Amino acid sequence: MRTLALRATSALALLLATPPALAGEFDPQGNFLFAPQALVSEGFETLVGFEPAFVDAGVPNGIEWLEPVDSADALEGSRYARVATSHNWDQAVIPVSLSAAQQSVRVRLWMRHNEINATFVVRYASSSGKRQTAALTPTGRCTSDGWVELESARVSIDGGDVSSAYLAIRGRGEIDALEVVTDGAFHEATACRRAFDPVCGSERFCAAGWCRDGAHFVPGLPPPHERDQVVDWIESRLRFAFGGHETRTKYLPLALEELAGMRHANSAWEFWNGFGTAIRKLHDWHTAASSLASSIRAPASLNLCFIEGDADLSHAIWPSDPRYRDLMIAYTGKDRTAGMKRGDRLVSIDGMHPIAWARSLITIDWGWWQADDDRTNAEFAERLRGLIPRFAESITVLHCDEATLSCSPTPETIQIASLPEDDADARELVTCDNRPAYHLTDTEVPNPETHAVNYNIFIGPLADSQPGENLWGMTWDTLWGPAFESTFLGLGKKFKDNGVRGVVLDHRAGMGGTLDAPEAMTRFVREFSKMGLGIYFRPSAGFEGPATPEEGIAIYEKYQKDLDAVYDVGGDDADTELPVALLLHRDGSASDYMPWGMKGAPKVRLFGQGPTAGAFSTLAGLSFWGSLSMQLAHGEAVSADGLGMIARGVEPDEIVAQKQSDLIRGRDTVYERALAWVRSEMKP
């Protein structure tokens, strides 16, 4: 006979408080009974299998990714549903019918045999930005045969404005006994203007024009007797696994201080947002905290990309900031540009420099991403087009004219609330890859209208190559060795067979990958050498990494015989007469290792606006419930001369700022400087 446990005891369960009285219960035989007053009760007793052929045929059908299973151990009735999505972006959508009343509800679902990610979604006819999402996380109730109860926080719903409501299910496992019950008084949605708008109070935050209930996005507040255990567990992972010497020394204390504040939290949002803020304060490219808050969608989108550089046409109108580079529009999509165009300059967001504004969001932005090397802001610039519609009230822009090569003396202030809404699920945005233009022949370039390089590698003659020069280029983003190592190993032969006299490698959106790929990339440019230890892990819990070059050299000497640990570069068939220009911009992880391995080669020169991310580590990931997770940078590289490499971005040989005067005419300053150098060094 099935029995019910009222509460698990593990601090890792991230438990909610005991559910209120209005909830499904169990009879003496262990059979689940829906709450009599439940607004929705779904036991999947009539669920049928999904048939793709019926989708457009008007034939009654099941739910994609849900399979009905007849079983004596169903929680309720005699059938449950098996969830088996193929990818993390697939979801089973279970419709939920609600009345037109204004009411507050909770949603509950039971699951077992793996982790189910369940999200309650309510869409409104009046505005796509008003959409509500709430994660379902464990209540602490579970059964002797493995069923675990999930529950949402309280959600206030304006039923008269609802266009649809549903439960979105991801993952693999079994589900049963979905119910929606009323809970408490209805609270009207509150409009807000910008991040940190005080109208939202302490338990809500402003995003996409509405105050969002923080409890919707995180698990419940652990009970007092377990709160310290949860914090202790998180702290132990940070102390044991995170970072290298530089980040542990500078930023781990800041994160631990933030974690300490969680012990005194009085609400779920205060507790778990403290966790997210602590992870973000670790200041690392590989390190992040995620929650459902990362998925909030603004009603409008900006179909354009920003790039850092030198706004040389407009300094007299708006001087540069002494700390941060100027921000300009690199290129746009066909629509939703808010009247901005290539070469226009973004001078402020809510009265702050755009990068300073983006950095100010550390306590609210769950999509936070930054370089280890604090001189680099490319990650912030790349994310601006998504951050602005979610968190800004207004932006200030200087519009510029290509014909006159001048900018308007009067900045325009654009109110974000004035932007037209678009379909959040159908929107297609141009990809931001820090490349103002592509430079290979027309048959060997990404689509210039989408800038979607993705997992492709484009190799071929440069469009600017003149007769007799035979200059080639390569444009790509990923260094994923299992897929592309053979391509990289064949570059030397390919260039030799085609009589190539110079190369421009464009890696300005370097997403990283695996170390075998950057090792392979260096084979054709330099003779074999050992750069250092690729990933060096802490040998003991108390070791904080090489504090001096002498300590680093000792570490390298100890481990350099381990072939798996050493970062080997170069090869016996290197062509040290072939000039190779490497273009960098937003590059981290394996995309740090590659320029590190190429820098200093006889005929290699690095061009970019600043150092790479300095993310010389790997990562470890830990998932919890309701989209709550964290990943931590783990280990670091140690150079052969004893330097711990984390937070030491690779410096370009030439710092070249993208000029506004070039950008407005569609010219690529960094590429043009690199091309000039390659021409000056062409192989005979």
SS3 letters for 212-253? EEHHHHCCCCCCHHHHHHHHHHHHHHHHHHCECHHHHHHCHH
Query: Both ends of the chain: CA-CA distance in Å?
Result: 84
What DSSP element (H or E) covers 481?
helix 481-489
- Residue 90 one-letter amino acid: D
CA distance 115 to 616: 32
For 433-528+570-614+649-684, the fitting CATH number among 3.30.300.30, 1.10.3210.50, 3.90.226.10, 3.90.170.10 is: 3.90.226.10
For residue 188, count other CB atoms closer than 10 A to its CB.
8
DSSP 255: H
DSSP 276: H
pLDDT single digits (tens) 564-614: 889 999 998 899 999 999 999 999 999 999 999 999 999 999 999 999 999
pLDDT single digits (tens) 527-536: 999 999 998 8
What DSSP element (H or E) covers 562?
none
Per the CB < 8 A criterion, the answer to whether 25 and 45 are in contact is no
What is the pLDDT, as a whole number, of residue 617? 95
Q: What is the pTM of this model?
A: 0.94
CA distance 638 to 438: 35
Residues 6+ apart with CB under 8 A from 181: 22, 23, 35, 37, 38, 39, 105, 106, 108
What is the pLDDT, as a whole number, of residue 6? 58
Tally of helices (H runs) and strands (E runs) in the chain: 13, 37
CA distance 595 to 287: 21
DSSP 652: P
What is the pLDDT, as a whole number, of residue 424? 61
pLDDT < 70 stretches in the chain: 6-21, 424-426
Per the CB < 8 A criterion, the answer to whether 181 and 152 are in contact is no
| CB half-sphere exposure, 336, CA atoms < 13 A | 21
Which residues pair with residue 639 across a beta bridge? 532
Per the CB < 8 A criterion, the answer to whether 140 and 6 are in contact is yes
**Listed residue (484, 475, 512) closest to 591, CA to CA:** 512
Q: Is residue 224 packed enough to be buried (19+ CB in 10 Å), middle (13-18) or exposed (0-12)? A: exposed
CATH number of 4-182: 2.60.120.260
What is the pLDDT, as a whole number, of residue 44? 97
**Listed residue (583, 601, 590, 584) closest to 637, CA to CA:** 590
Per the CB < 8 A criterion, the answer to whether 501 and 682 are in contact is yes
Structure tokens belonging to residue 408: 């308007």
Cα–Cα distance list, 309 to 302, 325, 382 (Å) = 20, 6, 13
What is the pLDDT, as a whole number, of residue 256? 98
- Residue ranges per structural domain of the chain: 4-182, 190-219+284-430, 433-528+570-614+649-684
What DSSP element (H or E) covers 674?
helix 669-680
Q: Is residue 305 packed enough to be buried (19+ CB in 10 Å), middle (13-18) or exposed (0-12)? A: buried
